[in-house]
């Protein structure tokens, strides 16, 4: 496994995650470590070029709001974060829209793939299918 992807962008990734999944704001350091480990395991299966592109995208998502609000994404309040993310939905660059959607997917994976989140929402999927429920 190569080097970890998230450490240089951790604060922005966490800000994005809590914007996409507000419940993530209740995570303690142990919960964040678990969530980030899930994402790191997933990203470890991707080529280094994709990992670099993701870091670049998250840095870009952090810096773009400075053009409008004078501060990076991670320093914005929840309302401004939401406005920025809503504006991305209609961004003229398809690549930017798709990238933001991909980061959203990673945020969902980070939060909901944790066993504690699965239990909290009653998710009981099993590789054995319905046989596991009998």
Query: Would you say residue 70 lies in a domain?
Result: yes
Which pTM does this prediction carry?
0.89
Q: CA 43, CA 21: separation in Å to the nearest integer? A: 20
User: Is 111 inside a domain boundary?
Assistant: yes
Q: What is the per-residue pLDDT for 129? A: 76
Q: Which residues of the chain have pLDDT under 50?
A: 1
pLDDT value, residue 119: 80
Biggest distance spanned by C-alpha atoms of the chain:
57
Q: Is 58 part of any domain?
A: yes
Specify if 42 maps to a domain.
yes
Q: What pLDDT score does 22 carry?
A: 96
In a domain, 89, yes or no: yes
Residue 62 lies in a domain: yes
Distance CA 2, CA 45 (A): 10
- How is 80-98 classified by DSSP, letter by letter? HHHHHHHHHTT-S-HHHHH
Count of domains in the chain?
1
| Cα–Cα distance, 3 to 114 (Å, whole number) | 22
Long-range contacts of 97-104 (CB under 8 A, 24+ apart): 99/57, 99/61, 100/61, 102/54, 102/57, 103/13, 103/16, 103/20, 103/54, 103/57, 103/58, 103/61, 104/16, 104/20
Q: Which domain holds residue 57?
A: 7-133
Q: Is residue 124 part of a domain?
A: yes
Q: Is residue 115 part of a domain?
A: yes
């Amino acid at each position: 496994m190569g080097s970890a992807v998230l450490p240089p962008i951790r604060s922005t990734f966490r800000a994005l995650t809590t914007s996409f999944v507000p419940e993530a704001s209740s995570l303690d350091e142990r919960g964040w470590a678990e969530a980030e480990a899930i994402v790191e395991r997933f990203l470890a299966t991707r080529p280094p070029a994709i990992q670099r592109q993701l870091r670049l995208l998250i840095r870009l998502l952090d810096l773009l709001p400075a053009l409008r609000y004078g501060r990076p994404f991670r320093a914005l309040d929840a309302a401004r974060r939401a406005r920025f993310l809503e504006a991305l939905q209609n961004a003229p660059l398809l690549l930017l829209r798709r990238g933001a959607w991909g980061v959203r997917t990673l945020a969902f994976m980070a939060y909901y793939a944790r066993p504690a989140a699965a239990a909290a929402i009653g998710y009981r999927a099993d590789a054995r299918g319905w046989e596991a429920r009998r």
